[in-house]
Amino acid sequence: MSSKKRLKGKVNTGVTYYQGSNFNYYKVPAVDKCSFNISEYSFPAAEFIHQALRNPK
């Protein structure tokens, strides 16, 4: 199977994707697996959003 077919439906938007734009990126060191527990990042991510809304650039 070609690499293009394996990548169907995926969007590569890491930190470098947003460089040079007016976009603040909150990076979560997540692994794309069903077993990865992302819930531990919920509060820090919400706090990041809250701070951004309180202090817009």
Taking the domains of the chain in order of start, what are their residue ranges?
3-54
**Per-residue pLDDT tens over the stretch 8-57:** 666 777 778 878 888 788 888 888 889 999 999 999 999 999 999 999 87
| Per-residue CA distances from 19 to 12, 22, 27, 52 (Å) | 13, 8, 13, 18
pLDDT, residue 49, reads 95
pLDDT, residue 43, reads 97
pLDDT, residue 44, reads 96
Contacts of 50 (CB under 8 A, 6+ apart): none
Contacts of 44 (CB under 8 A, 6+ apart): 26
Phi-psi region of 5 (alpha: psi -120 to 50; beta: other; left: phi over 0): alpha
pTM of the model: 0.62
Structure-block tokens of residue 18:
């947003």
